[in-house]
Structure 1
């Protein structure tokens, strides 16, 4: 597999297969939302679009980066989300990096969204797809966020080499600027457990696939092939 690691601004024409990585915190939050029962996640282009979608669908749950704001139900924090019952709900998400990255590759034939919490599941989906080329979108810090790059590199390795040790990749993520800013309270809308939750390797066994549905970019939970299924494929 030929793996490319690009920032959002470096993307050219739509890749065939894209893995959009946002460890701290967009796609860790999405994974928790699915674990708490959410049916789907709608990725909004802007805060205004998120609020407009919420206005049209009052039963949807809207969340954003930063501090609480009028019209939004929650903030982009896995620690705050993990105790919320989202059974059957639709979540509208707008973040600084993760949602932007997914929307930037919306024309790709396959878009996976990932963090460490779904790393192995994402690697299994890529193995099942058996794509020759995969573009990993490193969303944070204009493509230089080490937590996102470390996760992307780890998933790429796991896709082709099942025995890859995660320790060094998790260490890099834990020492990243994003981790420090979350731990030190530089960012708003943060729970004390957010960094630890973002670094939980393979907490969930499902992958997350985004696709256009009626002009909206919608993220859905995707069950992955089991190791036995992979071996017999």
Structure 2
């Protein structure tokens, strides 16, 4: 498997297969959304588009980065989502990095949205699909976010058959600037448990697959057999 690690701005063409990584917190939140019962997630290009989609579909749930805001029902925090019932709902998600990265590779034949909580399932799906070339999109901090790079590198090693010790990769993520900002309250719309939840390796048995449906980028869970 040929593997590349790129920031969003470094993407010049649609890769054949892409794994878009946002550990803190968009693609930790997405698996939690499914765990809370949601049917699908629709990625919005902008906050205005998120609100417009919700206006057209009164039962949809709109979710964004930062503090609570008028028109939005939830914020991008796994800790805050633990008590939310999303049974059968569609969630519209707009964040500053993760959703941007996924939309940037929407023309790829396979797009997976990943974090540590779905790492093993993501790696296994890459193996099952027999991907010869995979681009890992490191979404945070213009491609330099160490929590995202560490997760991407870990998944890449698992997908190529290596058995890396996860502890070092989780340590890097836990010592990242994003983790510090969440812990110190720099980032709004957070829960005290967010960092710990973002570092729960393989909490969920499914991968998160993104694909175009009627011009919208839609995320759905894909259970991967062990």
TM-score, L = length of structure 1: 0.96
Q: Does 1:98 align with 2:89?
A: no
Distance 1:104 1:193 in 2: 30
Which residues of structure 1 form unaligned runs of 5+?
A: 227-233
The answer for the alignment partner of 1:44 in structure 2 is 44
- Uncovered stretches (5+) of structure 2, i.e. residues with no partner: none
- Paired residue for 1:76? 76
Q: CA deviation at 1:206?
A: 0.4
Aligned positions of 1:181-196 closer than 5 A: 181-196=181-196
- After TM superposition, give the deviation of residue 223 of structure 1 in Å: 1.0
Map 1:122-141 to 2 at 5 A: 122-141=122-141
Secondary structure of 1:58's aligned partner? coil
Secondary structure of the 2:84 match is coil
SS at match of 2:62: strand
Separation in 2, partners of 1:131, 1:195:
31
Equivalent-residue separation in structure 1 for 2:55 and 2:98 (angstroms): 23
Q: 2 CA distance for matches of 1:18 and 1:39?
A: 23
Aligned with 2:87: secondary structure? coil
Separation in 2 of the partners of 1:28 and 1:150? 14
Aligned partners of 1:55 and 1:194: how far apart in 2?
29
Asked if the contact 1:128–1:225 (Cα under 8 Å) also holds between the matched residues in 2, the reply is no
Alpha-carbon distance in structure 1 between the residues aligned to 2:195 and 2:180: 9
Deviating 4+ runs (over 2 angstroms): none
Match of 1:209 in 2: 209
Structure 1 residue aligned with 2:111: 111
- Residue 86 in structure 1 maps to residue 86 in structure 2: yes
What does residue 54 of structure 2 align with? 54
What is the RMSD of the two structures over their aligned residues, measured on CA atoms? 0.6
User: How far does residue 162 in structure 1 lie from its aligned partner after superposition?
Assistant: 4.5
